[in-house]
Amino acid sequence: MGAVSHFLALTAIVTIAYQLFFFIITAILKFDKLTDFAGTTNFIVLSILTLVLKGSWHFRQVILSMLVVIWGLRLGLFLLMRILQWGEDRRFDGKRDQLGRLAIFWTFQAIWVWTVSLPVTVINASDNQPSLHAGDIIGWIMWSLGILVEITADQQKLKFKSSQENRRKWCSVGLWKYSRHPNYFGEIFLWWGIFVASTPVLEGAKWLVVFGPVFLTLLLLFVSGLPLLEESADKKFGNVAAYLSYKRTTRKTIFSPLVLLPPGVYGNLPQWFKTSVLFEFPLYNNNLPKKT
């Protein structure tokens, strides 16, 4: 674990320095369009840095690093072009002149980058590299499916929102017919794929890297992902009958919040199963009008 510990410390230092640099730009220039770009490219920096410094170039290390680079470049450029098109990052409304709140946001982003990168960091730092394992193949397939879902969902929503006739509508086309947040489903699934692909190397304390995908999943389910978007959509469309039908019918929720499922299937599942297995938590409906 000696070499691994050194790499963990190094990636922590690099992540703090990288995020601090962009935080200073944001704080001084009040320019917040590089926020997501700073986050995603930080993943790229860590994966390439650890791969090169270790220098063993095992196929598992190269492939996992490459998968992170592909994900980071795609998502980073997509989010950068989107925010340049939109003109501002609404997450910073009311925060741009509050240094403390900005610092909290950027600190949390640094924690996100370092924690979610744990599987790749540990893989690249490890001396033990067994031959090709079923876990490698399964993880790569999971990553491939996850990024395909994420890319498809992002493009479908971007196209939908770019149309003038859809300005006052919520997206319910393509994959968005089967999940209220298919892009987040793809994001979670691909990072669990990275973890699964790292399992052939894991032993002892190295299994703690599972905290990476667990942290990401909890973050999107309860903090910065679904709760914020559900609240925003409920406030915007909560009095629109068609939206209420999209999200729920009488006592039955028919559109899955995350996992891709046909409405006809999801709507007929028992509520306890939706809540305990498929993430249909009451907090996602806090801003809807009360039923009578």
- pLDDT for res 261: 94
- Is the pLDDT confidence value at 160 over 70? yes
Contacts of 36 (CB under 8 A, 6+ apart): 75, 76, 79, 80, 83, 89
When pLDDT is averaged across residues 208-220 and rounded to a whole number, the result is 97
Cα separation of 89 and 98, whole Å? 15
Q: What is the residue-averaged pLDDT of the chain?
A: 89
Phi, psi of 132 (to 5 degrees): -50, 135
For 110-128, the pLDDT digits (tens) are 999 999 999 999 999 999 8
Residue with tokens 């987040």: 184
Instruction: State the chain's maximal CA–CA distance in angstroms.
Output: 65
- Is the pLDDT confidence value at 191 over 60? yes
CA angle 230, 231, 236 (to 5 degrees): 100
- Is the pLDDT confidence value at 255 over 50? yes
When pLDDT is averaged across residues 197-214 and rounded to a whole number, the result is 96
Cα separation of 171 and 4, whole Å? 44
For 15-24, the pLDDT digits (tens) are 999 999 999 9
- pLDDT for res 91: 60
Confidence class for position 82, pLDDT limits 50, 70, 90: confident
Tokens representing residue 51 in the block:
């791969």
Cβ atoms of 71 and 190 closer than 8 Å = yes
Within 10 A of 174 (CB to CB), how many other CB atoms are there? 15
Tokens representing residue 180 in the block:
């209220």
- Is the pLDDT confidence value at 291 over 70? no
Handedness of CA 271, 273, 279, 283 (dihedral sign): positive
- pLDDT for res 250: 44
Predicted structure pTM score: 0.93
- Is the pLDDT confidence value at 292 over 80? no
From 80-94, 157-171, 235-249, the region with the lowest mean pLDDT: 80-94
- Is the pLDDT confidence value at 84 over 90? no
Cβ atoms of 136 and 60 closer than 8 Å = yes
- pLDDT for res 98: 73
Please report, for the chain, the start and end positions of each structural domain, with discontinuous segments joined by +.
1-129
For 26-45, the pLDDT digits (tens) are 888 877 788 889 999 999 99
- pLDDT for res 185: 98
Contacts of 260 (CB under 8 A, 6+ apart): 149, 175, 178, 179, 182, 185
Confidence class for position 64, pLDDT limits 50, 70, 90: very high
Tokens representing residue 174 in the block:
């393509």
- Is the pLDDT confidence value at 14 over 70? yes
